Structure 1
Amino acid sequence: MSAASTTAASEAVRLAFVEMLGAERRLRARDQKCGPGELTHGQIRALFTIDVKGEATAGELAKAAELSPASVSTMLDHLERDGIVERRRSESDRRVVVVSLTGEGRELLEHRRAEWRTRWREALADVSDEHLAVAADVMHRMAGILDEL
């Protein structure tokens, strides 16, 4: 591959990455317009974190959802009111409050996960495994660039 085509390809990746970041910002902005009974992007991210870890503190959820601790506290109030999560004192340190999913929360999250898996399969159905592996490598490198900033 020539230097000019490598530069053009790198620029195409950079522009696509900028486009993806913009789409993510627009998704977050739409969270403000979330209707009753719907979950925001931040709530979904927090719930996935709880699901992976089994339980999490409000601080861990704030970091995962990229929200302030005050926002997470309000979010947890709503999720707990709706029966999606429950809070309790940690058995190892009574000063710490941990959050876990309820049965209803687990069902809701699995439903969301199934929806996203369907979207991913449909969007990427015509892309080869080799191309997907290369795309994953590029995305990991882009994440590294952001982490270095």
Structure 2
Amino acid sequence: MAAEARDADFIDRARQGWRKAWPGLDTSGMELMGRITRISAQTVQLLDQVLAPAGVARAEFDVLCALARSERPLRASEVTAATLFSSAATTKHAARLEQAGLVQRRRLERDGRVVLLELTGTGRALVETEMPRCMELDRALLEGIGEDELAALAALLRRISRNTEAYAAR
């Protein structure tokens, strides 16, 4: 029991708190989903720290990466879909990135209501510099987990991702 208490993380302590506060509540889903959510929040904070010297936040970097992966300029709505940001957040990030000289915004010629976003040379250079640093953080966070374990975990998380996408589409 002492080893279990020593190895307990925030989610273990939260579940224990819920068992005391609401004894009949089934918190088994928190075992995984709570950890996924917490790891995500912690990773966002760490990525913000990694990216701070480059002058961009993780959310802005997500916009830059969506554009870097595309072979063509993207509609603002496509960036919104790729990043899961709201339309307003995408607009805010695009404006900030344009002001920083990292993104160019232009209207679609045949439909002036559509805004296209594309990386500038400076934006592409930033992604090419910072993406390896972000991947280095990922490797550090996964340290000590074997290749087979990582493959199994990735497969399970992919299933959870599909379930989440299907649930959101209902």
Q: TM-score normalised by the shorter chain: which range applies?
A: 0.7 to 0.9
Q: Which of 43, 59, 76 lines up with 1:42 in the alignment?
A: 59
Q: CA deviation at 1:25?
A: 4.2
Among all aligned residue pairs of Structure 1 and Structure 2, give the percentage whose two residues are the same amino acid: 23
Match of 1:21 in 2: 37
Change (3 A) 1:35 1:115: closer
Residues 113 and 73 (structure 1), Cα distance of their counterparts in 2 relative to 1, 3 Å cut? same
**Counterparts of residues 1-149 of structure 1 (less than 5 Å):** 15-25=31-41, 27=44, 38-54=55-71, 55-90=73-108, 93-95=110-112, 96-149=114-167
Give me the whole-angstrom Cα distance separating, in 2, the residues matched to 1:133 and 1:13.
Answer: 22
Question: Which structure: larger Rg?
Answer: 2
Q: Structure 1, unaligned stretches of length 5 or more? A: 1-10
Instruction: Note the C-alpha offset of 1:39.
Output: 2.0
TM-score, normalising length: structure 2: 0.65
CA–CA distance in 2 between the matches of 1:23 and 1:94? Answer: 41
Mapped contact 2:63–2:93 kept (Cα < 8 A): no
Q: TM-score, normalised by structure 1?
A: 0.73
SS of structure 1 residue aligned to 2:55: coil
Q: C-alpha separation between the residues in 1 aligned to 2:117 and 2:53?
A: 22
Indicate conservation of the 8 Å contact 2:67/2:74, yes or no: yes
Number of equivalent positions: 135
Contact 1:80 1:87 in 2 (8 A): yes
| SS in structure 2 of the partner of residue 98 of structure 1 | strand
Q: Which runs of 5 or more residues in structure 2 are unaligned?
A: 1-26
| Alignment correspondent of 1:7 | none
